[in-house]
Amino acid sequence: MLQRLPLMLAALWWGSATAVGAWVVPMLFKHLGTPAVAGSMAAQLFAAQTWVALLCGLVMLWSWHRPNQRHEALEASEGHIDPSWARALGADQRRADTWVLAGMLAAAVMTWGVSPRILAREQLALWHAVGSGLYALQWLAAGVTLWRQGRVSPGNAS
């Protein structure tokens, strides 16, 4: 069961980031009375999305690096591991860690670094562009993580 947890978390992270950024926030600006009201509500949604990103990322990292995780992966493949696949798995895991950490960092910087400046209306165009870029980075990181978790490997081909 724990082997599929990262896939489910990556799906939750990417799906929620997609829903908030592509549908919910644009609908707020279309249907709420003023941009200030919509912007305030959007900031709350982006803050909630940050917590989703941080929690999903932390649990994924924990599940990949918990004690006995590598031993369980070897048992699951019943000893039929090609040494080149094992090396590739290690490199792939480092890349996965990097994407997760980049997405978590982008979410945190957006919420605690950029969002207060947008709400204070400081250089609004600049900070909105920076925030949008960080959100896009978070979305990309979640998407890459989901894509990589969804691949079939010799250890989970069933």
Helices and strands in the chain: count of H runs, count of E runs: 7, 0
Check residue 104 and report its DSSP letter. Answer: H
> What CA–CA distance (Å, rounded) separates 52 from 119?
21
Query: According to the model, what pLDDT value does residue 151 have?
Result: 76
Please tell me the pTM assigned to this model.
0.79
Query: According to the model, what pLDDT value does residue 68 have?
Result: 63
- pLDDT tens for each residue of the chain, 158 residues long: 678 899 999 999 999 999 999 999 999 999 998 988 998 899 999 999 999 999 999 999 998 887 665 555 555 555 555 555 455 455 566 677 899 999 999 999 999 999 999 988 899 999 999 999 999 999 999 999 999 888 755 455 44
CA distances in angstroms from 60 to 42, 64, 68, 120, listed in the order given: 27, 6, 15, 34
